[in-house]
């Protein structure tokens, strides 16, 4: 009985946090310089330019998957009603980054590469994509403590998207280090907006909460908890576009 009471109290607190966040956003949403039609037109053009092929989509696929990403970057309040935005244990917020989770081949990286280019001159939405494996490789190439200090400083500021989270290995540079764990910790402390793409854990494709909790095994509970605060969780569904 006590356990149930504690859970109900926790759910009430989370609901209050969500409502407060929503009320604050409704009164403080910035006006976006691009219309929905302009962004869509430029997106299609840029996708074809970057990937040398047209963007393959259906209206239903866009509505249930990537409409949430477009609405996020447009600061469109209907973002909060997107069916694939996880809202139960998180408080969606435009000040948070995106955690885009879907199986291999669903276009997560391709689409974010287009937004990276479209917004590179618009600071509120600009970000740089970094592959998590390349972060580990860079760290392993560092020669001095000063180089490592500069490395962490560089990755602990600005808006970044870390592609393929939880796929990187533990770095080895005069001792083993979980580099992404350290970077996430620092970015959270600095209040940096951070985006991620990630493949879901097998069997947890429809379980956002469990996917985040599973990250405890590799990054520890503190980091998993910080990701709750840092990200809007979006689930991407469908069949691979690579076949």
Q: Which residues pair with 161 in a beta bridge?
A: 129, 195
Q: What is the reported pTM? A: 0.85
pLDDT of res. 180: 96
Mean pLDDT on 32-46 = 86
Highest mean pLDDT: which range of 5-9, 11-15, 135-139: 135-139
Give the mean model confidence (pLDDT) for residues 46-73.
Answer: 91
Average pLDDT of the residues of the chain: 86
DSSP at 217: H
Q: What's the Cα-to-Cα distance from 234 to each of 174, 192, 198, 213, 228, rounded to whole Å?
A: 37, 19, 10, 16, 12
Spatial contact of 128 and 158, defined as CB atoms under 8 Å apart: yes
235: phi then psi, degrees, rounded to nearest 5: -95, 130
Provide the pLDDT confidence category of residue 30 given band limits of 50, 70 and 90: low
Structural domains for the chain: 31-236 (3.40.50.300)
CA 37 to chain centre: 24
Intra-chain end-to-end CA distance of the chain, in Å: 51
pLDDT at position 121:
85
| pLDDT tens figures, 64-118 | 999 999 999 999 999 999 999 998 877 899 999 999 999 998 999 999 999 999 9
CA torsion, ordered 154, 157, 159, 162, to nearest 10 deg: 50
Q: What angle do CA 102, 107, 18 make, to 5 degrees?
A: 50
Query: Side-chain half-sphere of 68: how many Cα atoms within 13 Å?
Result: 25
Mean pLDDT (whole number) for 20-43: 66
Q: Which residues neighbour 212 within 8 Å (Cβ) at sequence distance 6 or greater?
A: 99, 224, 227, 228, 233
Kindly provide the residue ranges of all beta strands, DSSP E only, lying in the chain, ordered along the sequence: 97-102, 128-131, 160-163, 171-172, 176-177, 194-198, 231-236
């Amino acid at each position: 009985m006590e356990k149930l009471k504690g859970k109900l109290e926790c759910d009430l607190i989370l609901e209050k946090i969500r409502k407060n966040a929503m009320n604050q956003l409704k009164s403080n949403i910035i006006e976006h310089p691009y219309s929905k039609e302009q962004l869509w037109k430029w997106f299609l053009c840029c996708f074809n330019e970057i990937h040398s092929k047209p963007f393959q989509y259906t209206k239903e696929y866009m509505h249930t998957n990537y409409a949430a990403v477009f609405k996020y970057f447009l600061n469109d309040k209907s973002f909060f009603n997107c069916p694939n935005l996880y809202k139960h244990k998180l408080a969606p917020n435009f000040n948070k980054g995106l955690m885009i989770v879907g199986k291999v081949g669903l276009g997560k990286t391709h689409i974010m590469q287009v937004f990276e280019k479209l917004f590179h001159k618009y600071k509120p939405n600009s970000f740089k994509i970094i592959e998590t494996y390349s972060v580990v490789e860079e760290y392993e190439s560092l020669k001095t403590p000063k180089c490592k200090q500069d490395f962490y400083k560089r990755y602990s500021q600005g808006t970044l998207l870390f592609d393929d989270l939880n796929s990187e290995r533990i770095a080895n540079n005069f001792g083993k280090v979980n580099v992404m764990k350290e970077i996430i910790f620092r970015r959270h402390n600095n209040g940096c907006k951070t985006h991620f793409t990630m493949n879901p854990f097998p069997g947890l494709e429809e379980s956002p909460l469990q996917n985040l909790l599973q990250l405890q095994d590799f990054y520890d509970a503190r980091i998993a908890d910080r990701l709750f605060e840092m990200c809007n969780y979006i689930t991407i569904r469908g069949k691979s576009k690579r076949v």
